[in-house]
Amino acid sequence: MGVVNVTPDSFSDGGDWFDVDRAVAHGLDLVAEGADILDVGGESTRPGAARVDPAEELRRVVPVVREFASRGIRVSVDTMRAATAVAAMEAGAEIINDVSAGLADADMVPAVADTGATYVAMHWRGHSDRMDVLNTYADIAVEVRDELAQRVDVLHAAGVAHDRIIVDPGLGFSKTGDQNWEVLARLDVLAGLGLPVLVGASRKRFIGALLPDDASMADRDLPTAVVSVLSAQAGAWGVRVHDVLATRRALDVAVAWQSGRRG
Ligand code: PMM
């Protein structure tokens, strides 16, 4: 899954793709580099970020979704708002990627049921302005799994089909650097839910913490690609990344290694 953030202030690529034409061109590059899905978002979730106005989020996201969908590209919309999700589905999105797993907007779960979307439910404990203080866990891998299982129950109760649900541990959301590594080291616990798992480690602070202080954002792409391979080996269904090319190449190596032949 390649990230197309149409935002002026995103965590890791903020401002780079902040207009429709540039966002579309960037997404097409990501597809050429091997992305299977483009994840289009109009609201930054970086730590401390303020909410974006709903009308502005729609204005950013819908034309970009429509353009990709018209070219036959699988699109997910990265939003916590039901209205944005519904508009994106009407514009051709297939997947709703909700970092709040329905907790930020009471209308989201019914909207997922109504639209028949595939839904990414990410582990989330609160909005970006306060998520960093919500990181107390006794056993993080088990609590992430159990809190997501509750959200899955809510989705089932609303009529969302089991085979339309994907779960995501929400790396960096209400988690310290070491807590992210613990979740990754025990990804099998989350996989125990029996649902596809999406991993979003790309360029996050805990990846940067492995690097020298003066390392750039782009320096985070190699370690991100390694995390992509290790996630795949741990059974992940997908990885959400900014630098698709590095991850694609790394995954190609893993496939060749495992199959004993190229491609
Ligand atoms: N991370 C970000 C945004 N959306 N969606 C999912 N499913 N999982 C994530 O980990 C995730 C996400 C924040 O990262 P960005 O600002 O670099 O895009």
Find the angle CA(199)-CA(195)-CA(114) to the nearest 5 degrees: 100
Could you count the other beta carbons within 10 Å of the beta carbon of residue 129?
12
Q: Tokens 């935002």 appear where?
A: 7
Ligand 1 atom closest to Cα of 122? Answer: 7
Q: What does the pLDDT read at residue 246?
A: 98
Question: Residues 75, 40: contact at Cβ < 8 Å?
Answer: yes
Q: Residue 207 carries which side chain, given as an amino acid letter?
A: I
Whole-angstrom distance, CA of residue 140 vs CA of residue 160: 27
Max Cα separation, the chain?
A: 51
83, β-bridge pairs: none
10 Å CB burial of residue 249 (0-12, 13-18, 19+) is middle
Choosing from 3, 38, 151, 247 the residue with most ligand 1 atoms within 8 A of its CB, the one to mutate for a pocket test is 3
Q: Which residue out of 11, 128, 224 has the highest number of ligand 1 atoms within 8 Å of its CB and is therefore the one to mutate?
A: 11
Compute, in angstroms, the gap from residue 214 CA to the centroid of ligand 1.
Answer: 23
Count of beta carbons in the 10 Å neighbourhood of residue 136: 10
Say what the pLDDT of residue 95 is. 98
pLDDT of amino acid 130: 76
Amino acid 15: pLDDT:
56
- What interhelical angle do 177-185 and 140-157 show, nearest 10? 70
pLDDT at 7: 83
What type of residue is 85?
Answer: A
Q: What does the pLDDT look like over 163-187, one tens digit per residue? A: 999 999 999 999 999 999 999 999 9
Q: Give nearest CA residue, ligand 1 atom 11.
A: 200
CB of 35 closer than 6 angstroms to any ligand 1 atom: no
241 C-beta closer than 6 A to ligand 1: no
| CA 200 to ligand 1 center in whole angstroms | 6
Q: What is the pLDDT of residue 48?
A: 72
Q: Is 16 exposed, middle or buried (0-12, 13-18, 19+ CB in 10 A)?
A: middle
> Token digits for 104?
């930020």
Catalytic residue among 125, 186, 204, 220, which?
204
CA of 240 to the centre of ligand 1 (A): 7
What parts of the chain have a pLDDT lower than 50?
Answer: 11
The structure tokens listed for 255 are 């496939």
Q: pTM for the full model? A: 0.95
Closest ligand 1 atom, residue 13 Cα: 17
CA distance 131 to 12: 18
Please say if 175 is a catalytic residue: no
Q: 238: part of which helix (H) or strand (E)?
A: strand 238-239
Q: How many CB atoms lie within 10 A of CB 211?
A: 13
Q: How far is the CA of 84 from the centre of ligand 1 (A)?
A: 17
Give the closest residue (by CA) to ligand 1 atom 16: 11
- At 52, list the tokens: 């974006």
Which residues are within 8 A (CB) of 195 and not within 5 positions of it... i.e. 6 or more apart?
152, 162, 165, 166, 167
